[in-house]
Amino acid sequence: MIRVLIVDNELLAGIRIEHLLVTMKNIEVLGIASTGADALVVSRQSPPDILIINLSVSNMDKVWITDLVHQMDLMPVLIFCPSFDGFNPMPEVISRKDSFNMRLINSEDMAASILGACRMVHKRRREASGAPRTHLYVYSYQGIEKIPVAEVLLFRAAHKYVVAHLPDRTVTINDSLKSLMTEFSGLFVKIHRNALVAMSAIDKLEPVDDHMTVVIKGLDSRPTVSRRRVSYLRQLMPLL
Task: Residue 9: name the closest of 32, 41, 28, 30 by CA.
Answer: 32
User: End-to-end CA distance of the chain, in Å?
Assistant: 35
- 100: Cβ–Cβ under 8 A, 6 or more apart, which residues? 77, 78, 79, 80, 113, 116, 117
Pair 141, 90: CB distance under 8 Å: no
Distance CA 146, CA 43 (A): 25
- For residue 75, how far is the Cα from the chain centroid? 17
104-131 mean pLDDT: 84
Assign domain 2-129 one CATH number from 1.10.10.10, 3.30.750.24, 3.40.50.2300, 3.40.640.10: 3.40.50.2300
Q: Considering the chain, what is the average pLDDT of its residues?
A: 84
CATH class entry, domain 152-239? mainly beta
68-99 confidence digits (pLDDT tens): 767 766 678 877 776 444 444 555 545 555 55
Pair 177, 159: CB distance under 8 Å: no
Distances (CA, A) of 149 to 8, 135, 161, 188, 218: 38, 5, 17, 10, 15
Greater confidence (147 vs 12) lies with 147
Domain boundaries, the chain: 2-129, 152-239
In the chain, where does DSSP find H-type helix? Answer: 11-21, 36-45, 62-71, 107-129, 177-183, 227-236
What is the model's pTM? Answer: 0.81
